[in-house]
Amino acid sequence: MTRIKQLMCAASIITAVWMVGCEAETTVGSDGAGDADGDTDTDTDVDTDSDADSDGDGDADGDADGDADTDEECYEMIDIVFVLDVSTSMDEFLSILEEEIGAVWSAAQDLSVDEPPHFGLVVFVDDVTVVASETYTSVEALQSDFNFWYTHTSSNQQTQSTAENDDFPENTLDALIEAALKYDWRDPELALRVIIHVTDDTFREYPATFTSGLPAIHTYEETVTMLQDRQIRVASFAAHYGGPFFSQDVEPGFFTDYNSMSPIPAATSGSVFDIEQVQDSTISLTEAINEFVLEELCEEYIPE
């Protein structure tokens, strides 16, 4: 149980006790015997109307579990996987993320869930590399990998392949699938599952091929279905315009529908942020990530 839920439970218990006390006061009769009819009150059950505690367990929820019922269940764990476009145009954003990842790590630790948060990393250009399929054991290890892949952006190379990187669409869909399938996610009933996805351009889907010759393996629909089935929320940092002259509309799939299908963030109970607002410091990258995680910590997974 999270600290948030513990505080809510305590408040509910206090409210229930106050209600019972008030009810007892209103049933005292004129003869001082505890009823209103002037005779001796032999009823040992203060509550006779089921509005506060009808099951005798001391709570107001009627479930005989001894605790106060709350409407809000919170996740006990947090799993966060970064899925990062590491093509050349991403250098500015990744430099910010590299600088701030320590603060993101610390904020997740401070949420005081039952288990420490887990972090993973997947990177992509036209190809995809799963860097960390299990959690990092230290923030230093995570920072080291972020530094390596930030430096990689200056190379204009794929993550593994020797193929050239000459086009602007990158392989978002296959990267999300790899994160969904290969990361060691914890139980979705207990763990909030989050992908922080970052790209400044559009994508291709199967059966298309990138100009590098590398194929897109999955379709948009397959990707969304996989994320939904595994109850993974996607928070995307994406652009409105991309391409060689930054004049191409690259919103579909992130901000707007893609071929009449909901954007990935909306379809996965996630959110989308303007990557340019991070780069010009209009919004804080750390605050955006941390607030998203905090807002979703006690929310049901409700995809579109």
The whole-number pLDDT of residue 162 equals: 93
pLDDT at 117: 95
Domain residue spans of the chain: 1-72, 77-296
User: What is the pLDDT at residue 112?
Assistant: 67
130-to-127, 152, 195, 265 alpha-carbon distances in Å: 10, 15, 13, 21
Round to whole Å and give the CA distance between 225 and 69: 34
Q: For tokens 């476009």, what's the residue? A: 85
Res 132: pLDDT: 98
Whether the ω angle into residue 207 lies within 30 degrees of 0, i.e. cis, is yes
Tokens encoding 35: 């009823």
Give me 14's structure tokens: 């206090």
User: How many residues can be counted in the chain?
Assistant: 304
Level-2 CATH architecture, domain 77-296: 3-Layer(aba) Sandwich (3.40)
| Placement of tokens 């966060």 in the chain | 80
Q: Under a CB-based contact definition with an 8 Å cutoff, are residues 50 and 59 in contact? A: no
pLDDT of residue 38: 45
Cβ atoms within 10 Å of 280's Cβ, excluding its own: 9
Is the model's pTM score more than 0.75?
yes
First to last CA, the chain: 28
- DSSP-assigned states of every residue in the chain: --HHHHHHHHHHHHHHHHHHHHHHHHT--TTSSSSSSSS------S--SSSS-SSSSSSSSSSSSSS---S----SEEEEEEEEE-SGGGHHHHHHHHHHHHHHHHHHHTT--SS--EEEEEEESSSEEEEESS--S-HHHHHHHHHHHHHHGGG-B-SS--SB--SS-B-HHHHHHHHHHHS-PPPTTTEEEEEEEE-SS-B--TT-B-TTSPBP-S-HHHHHHHHHHTT-EEEEEE-SEETTTT-EE--BTTTB-BTTB--HHHHTT-EEEEHHHHHTTSS-HHHHHHHHHHHHTT------
pLDDT averaged over 10-residue windows placed end to end, the chain, 304 residues? 42 39 42 46 47 48 47 88 96 94 93 89 98 97 97 95 91 98 97 98 97 96 98 98 91 98 98 96 95 96 91
What does the alpha-carbon distance between residue 64 and residue 19 come to, in Å, rounded to a whole number? 18
Contacts of 185 (CB under 8 A, 6+ apart): 79, 191, 193, 230, 232
